[in-house]
Structure 1
């Protein structure tokens, strides 16, 4: 049975909050929405993804949110996001070395993200780590998003692993709920968006990663139990 480590993308492998924020502002400007997210203040909003960013802009500009408008604006947001997708986004310190180490130990690697697959592929290639992952799954891959456990389970099956021989690494409550629904061990990234920008409770799991390099040893420790 193969051992596998599956990673969230935004806030886990890379800090992407500012580029998401800028994509939101480009969308607001293009569509005449009188609101702008502010750097160093609103990354907690943008780090939750495109739809959350759009909702915030509509709420602040109009005082209410219509989900129909959110869905209408989302493709425009994605178009703008591709323009700025790697202007500020960067790997967390030690991430490249961590992936190299896990690969050298024959750990099978995958990505389970709520970012659409096209944009996930673009970003991972821009960051220079796309080739480490045998499978990259977004919400459009199987028609559902985290915390639905289906994408995670599909990745584990593809990698020839099992629920007990795999680990999910993430930074938000969505990642945690996904791991619980799939009965997969969960590592919480303490330096990611969920803890830094969204005040996610760190007591949800005993497995806490203070650094990417430290995470590598933690992954091996967990999956060697089985």
Structure 2
């Protein structure tokens, strides 16, 4: 794999499918809410959650439950958001192998950030996990300003005066957002999506970033 060393001053990460996999615990949280209401037809499974990774928090529930009324969907979304954060604060998600070791190594050479389409509080829950304190300089999410991911990437670039950032993500949506933001893209092929475009690199394990950056 070609080296990208000394090309960038910062790395902006997607979260789900790039840094961790929280699908099992999110499915558990949403299933618990399903039991509280009488209008969700099917059980919420890990496969359901995996199918919507990368979508904005509003779009997730439109895709999963198109048959709901606006009022029902908004109610379920609100309850799911609370249950999700409560569950993840207890259990977290599954880190990809060598995540902490790799992040600590990268933080010695780059400014690290997170931009995700998640709800407010979700990134903060990830950052509370042991060992992550102080590794990331900043973050932005859909839930803060309800704006598209590309705009959140641009905001991070501008807010922190980044001169040569690179974005790491695992879906076509991540790639498209980085392109629109004018930021080079590294594809995390171990995640939830497929990207076969003009990414500057593809990694099959998170730890590979230590060698190419």
Structure-1-length-normalised TM-score: 0.79
Secondary structure of residue in 1 paired with 2:142: coil
Aligned partner (choices 93, 103, 114) of residue 99 of structure 1: 103
Segment drifting more, 108-117 vs 46-55: 46-55
1:210 matches 2:204: yes
Q: 1:7, 1:116 → 2: CA distance?
A: 16
Report the CA distance shift for 1:130/1:76 in structure 2 as closer, same or farther (over 3 A): farther
Using the TM superposition, give the Cα deviation of residue 142 of structure 1 relative to its aligned residue in structure 2, in angstroms: 3.4
1:109 touches 1:133 (CA, 8 Å); kept in 2?
Answer: yes
Q: 1:135, 1:114 → 2: CA distance?
A: 15
Provide structure 1 residue ranges, at least 5 long, that are not aligned to the other structure: 195-199, 221-226
Aligned partner (choices 27, 45, 52) of residue 21 of structure 1: 27
Provide structure 2 residue ranges, at least 5 long, that are not aligned to the other structure: 1-7
Higher helix proportion (structure 1 or 2): 1
Q: 1:51, 1:21 → 2: CA distance?
A: 16
Structure-2-length-normalised TM-score: 0.83
When the two chains are superposed, the root-mean-square deviation of aligned CA atoms in Å is: 2.5
Q: 2:64, 2:37 → 1: CA distance?
A: 11
Report the CA distance shift for 1:217/1:205 in structure 2 as closer, same or farther (over 3 A): same
Superposition pairs for residues 1-226 of structure 1, below 5 Å? 3-32=9-38, 33-39=40-46, 41-45=47-51, 47-48=53-54, 51=58, 54-55=61-62, 58-59=65-66, 64-85=67-88, 87=91, 89-105=93-109, 107-126=110-129, 128-146=131-149, 149-162=150-163, 165-194=164-193, 200-218=194-212, 220=213
Give 1:197's aligned residue. Answer: none
Secondary structure of residue in 2 paired with 1:21: helix
Q: 1:130, 1:68 → 2: CA distance?
A: 39
Q: 1:202, 1:24 → 2: CA distance?
A: 32
Q: 2:203, 2:80 → 1: CA distance?
A: 32
Corresponding residue pairs, total = 204
Q: Deviations over 1:174-216 (max 9, x none)?
A: 211111101110011011122xxxxx24345241011111123
Using the TM superposition, give the Cα deviation of residue 52 of structure 1 relative to its aligned residue in structure 2, in angstroms: 5.5
Q: Deviations over 1:8-31 (max 9, x none)?
A: 111110011112211221121111
2:168 touches 2:185 (CA, 8 Å); kept in 1?
Answer: yes
2:10 touches 2:112 (CA, 8 Å); kept in 1?
Answer: yes
Q: Deviations over 1:41-78 (max 9, x none)?
A: 4343353565565446534xxxx244453233211111
1:6 touches 1:169 (CA, 8 Å); kept in 2?
Answer: yes
1:179 touches 1:185 (CA, 8 Å); kept in 2?
Answer: yes
